[in-house]
Structure 1
Amino acid sequence: MPPGPEPRSRRILRVLTAFLGGIAALVLALAAGGALATWFITRQVEARYPPAGRTVPVTGGHLAVLEAGPGEGRPSRGTVVLLHGASANGMDPMQAFGRRLAGDGFRVLAFDRPGFGWSERIAGPAAASPTVQARLIAEALEAMGVGPATFVGHSWSGALAATLALDHPDRVSGLVLLAPALYPWPGGTVSGYAGWSRFPLGRALLWIATRTIAAPLGLTWLDRFAAAVFRPDPLPADYVDAARVPLVLRPATFAANLQDLDGLYGFLAGQSPRYPEIAVPTTIVAGDIDPIVRTEVHAVPMARAVPGARLVVLPGIGHMLHYTATDTVVSEIEAVTARQRAGAD
């Protein structure tokens, strides 16, 4: 006898199974394509932006540092250490004003923070803490034979520079904080990484995302993201390439950036009450229309907290003031070093 008609429930199950199988195959194909694109983008980015400085061994790995100005043992007007913000690397401040300081006779060192540029992510996720990054940078400076220096921290690294002054005061002779993130801000964390990473499935999805879609999407939107950070000022035509911004698209660096952003709020809640302990010449420079790090939340209370601190608020200037108000930044760094010399006499 010929087979009877297929039961409706079985037919529905068969169609649903085929549909889900097709969806799974499509997802796997997209993931494989994203992984291949990420691999290709990573190789291209690293080939275009190879290491430009030297590496310094520290406990657990190495940090990369760019150097300009008089070398070790040569007369200089002092040593200035540059610390970059989120989504960046040491070339960002070096291009903006580091080379100019070097031309004025300063020895300038610009570190790639752990996990950024060509520095290793020493200590893994724990390296999201400015405490860990400060310890590693202090260790690198000791290995390099660098004495007390003026630290210039932009944005995220405003917190890092303050940590160095608090936890490693023998390394810090002065602070210049540019559009610094220093206090807990309204709204809490930034990227949501911390919430997702609490669960195994969330960690797995984040791991997959950073290795499949983050780099291709990031490359597509990189100029627009950079323009948003510079707003209301125009994006310099050569910024993305000259500052080596695409290095942040590599999977490990992308994940490190998310970790650093998400860990900062809680860290600042603990550190900010300690700011009155800072005992070196300190200047805070911020724009009055910074849309990224609000001046009234961070720079203004810091100037009140640190004894003798100087606050410079620039009218009509946004977050990337080291590019858009370079003359002021350089003059304030020179003024801090002059205050150090006057205090030493």
Structure 2
Amino acid sequence: MTLPRSAAKGGLAAFLATGAGLAVHRLAARREAEWEARWQPTGRFIDVDGTRVHVHVEGEGPDLVLIHGAGGNMRDFTFSLMPRLARTHRVIAIDRPGMGYTGRTRPEYVEAFSTEAETPREQADLMVRAARQLGAERPVVLGHSFGGTIALAWACYFPDSVAALVLLGAASNRWKGGLGPTYEVNGTPVGGAAVVPMLTAFGPQSKLRSIVRQTFHPNAMPEGYADHLGAELTLRRDALRANARQVNNLKPHIIAMEGIYPSLTLPIERIHGAADRTVPFDIHAAPFQDMVPHTNLLRLEGVGHMPHHVAEDETAAAVDRAVAAARDVSIA
């Protein structure tokens, strides 16, 4: 006999209200407080139509917006790339909704039993409005991994507010199958309500560091990167739910954007590691190139999913080309 969903949800809610459930949440809250004390916001907060958005701005020059990937935060950029780019650009790094220190765009996205989360279009919309509030009306937008998806959504749905794109290991095209049990479980109502607090309360930080290291495969993770990134911030309950739901719900939005890609005319620089196992080249970069042939695609042999760390010179050069191309287009 299968219990109705409402009954199962009610039973789980009752369990979570017991001493054991409350103890898990207390421990989770204590760990979250420790992590937030260690990895505090690096920038400042702006209010974007009721959403608290964490932004970090450095430098002067052409406006460049940086969007981080899944399971991360803007610290991925502040480790080394952002200080370098800020020598010649005004660089704006933004935490995506539910990640780092940016809030959620709708109350229902915070609910433990929900499966809903911000779509790529919703996230891009928030980024557009945040950038405008900072005076960046038409910036060059750089996105890594899932952040590349958001950069593409920015160009697809708000084309008048972006000058050019720089895509780094970007998730751009449909793939076969699912995304693995971690995303699938954490994105369910039961997983969000019961499993996520357990991960926050008891998840080993050593395992998390190992996952971060694997993201660089086959390249070495830079010394000091894990301590700077603060990946533990992603182990917070709301961040785990946000990450799982955003990624779980991604594929249909990717498929919808594929229909728009051929109409894109803005300059696009794309760097993708040939050894990327997280966002494989043949599944994402190659078909995107067929859809948007004017893209300047740089395939990096022997490079995995983190080209902006492993090939920082090539990344900075791609940004310079995008800025120059955007300038040429505006003059013309």
> TM-score under structure 1 normalisation?
0.84
- The residue aligned with 1:73 is none
The Cα shift of 1:30 comes to: 6.1
For the aligned residue pairs, the C-alpha RMSD in angstroms reads 2.0
Classify 1:205/1:101 alpha carbon distance in 2 versus 1 (closer, same or farther; 3 Å).
Answer: closer
Alpha carbons 1:34, 1:212 under 8 Å: kept: yes
Name the CA distance, whole Å, in 2 between partners of 1:79 and 1:119: 21
- The residue aligned with 1:290 is 276
- The residue aligned with 1:159 is 149
Pair 1:116-2:103 in alignment:
no
The Cα shift of 1:191 comes to: 4.6
Q: Which has the larger radius of gyration?
A: 1
Match of 2:214 among 212, 216, 228: 228
The Cα shift of 1:31 comes to: 4.7
The Cα shift of 1:205 comes to: 4.4
The Cα shift of 1:292 comes to: 0.5
Name the CA distance, whole Å, in 1 between partners of 2:104 and 2:36: 16
Listed as ranges, the matches of 1:72-87 within 5 Å are 76=61, 78-87=62-71
Classify 1:241/1:215 alpha carbon distance in 2 versus 1 (closer, same or farther; 3 Å).
Answer: farther
Alpha carbons 1:165, 1:278 under 8 Å: kept: yes
The Cα shift of 1:94 comes to: 2.8
Match of 2:308 among 319, 322, 332: 322
Listed as ranges, the matches of 1:160-239 within 5 Å are 160-191=150-181, 203-239=189-225
Amino acid at match of 2:236: R
What is the percentage of aligned positions where both structures have the same residue? 29
Name the CA distance, whole Å, in 2 between partners of 1:116 and 1:195: 19
- The residue aligned with 1:94 is 78
Alpha carbons 1:191, 1:262 under 8 Å: kept: no
The Cα shift of 1:88 comes to: 0.5
The Cα shift of 1:325 comes to: 0.7
Alpha carbons 1:96, 1:322 under 8 Å: kept: no
Unaligned runs of 5+ in 1: 1-24, 71-75
Name the CA distance, whole Å, in 2 between partners of 1:154 and 1:195: 25
Alpha carbons 2:164, 2:326 under 8 Å: kept: yes
Amino acid at match of 1:322: H
- The residue aligned with 1:5 is none
- The residue aligned with 1:140 is 130
The Cα shift of 1:59 comes to: 2.0
- The residue aligned with 1:264 is 250
- The residue aligned with 1:277 is 263
Listed as ranges, the matches of 1:16-95 within 5 Å are 31=21, 33-70=23-60, 76=61, 78-95=62-79
- The residue aligned with 2:238 is 252
Amino acid at match of 2:147: S
> TM-score under structure 2 normalisation?
0.87
Name the CA distance, whole Å, in 1 between partners of 2:246 and 2:177: 16
Name the CA distance, whole Å, in 1 between partners of 2:310 and 2:179: 27
Classify 1:185/1:215 alpha carbon distance in 2 versus 1 (closer, same or farther; 3 Å).
Answer: farther
Amino acid at match of 2:262: P
Secondary structure at the aligned position of 1:213 is classed as helix
Classify 1:192/1:45 alpha carbon distance in 2 versus 1 (closer, same or farther; 3 Å).
Answer: closer
Alpha carbons 1:191, 1:258 under 8 Å: kept: no
Name the CA distance, whole Å, in 1 between partners of 2:201 and 2:176: 29
Alpha carbons 1:219, 1:249 under 8 Å: kept: no
Alpha carbons 2:67, 2:151 under 8 Å: kept: yes
Secondary structure at the aligned position of 2:97 is classed as coil
Name the CA distance, whole Å, in 1 between partners of 2:141 and 2:94: 11
Alpha carbons 2:31, 2:200 under 8 Å: kept: no
Amino acid at match of 1:58: V
Name the CA distance, whole Å, in 1 between partners of 2:29 and 2:220: 32
Classify 1:31/1:235 alpha carbon distance in 2 versus 1 (closer, same or farther; 3 Å).
Answer: farther
Unaligned runs of 5+ in 2: 1-14, 110-115
Q: Which has the higher mean CA deviation after the structures are superposed, 186-195 or 294-303?
A: 186-195
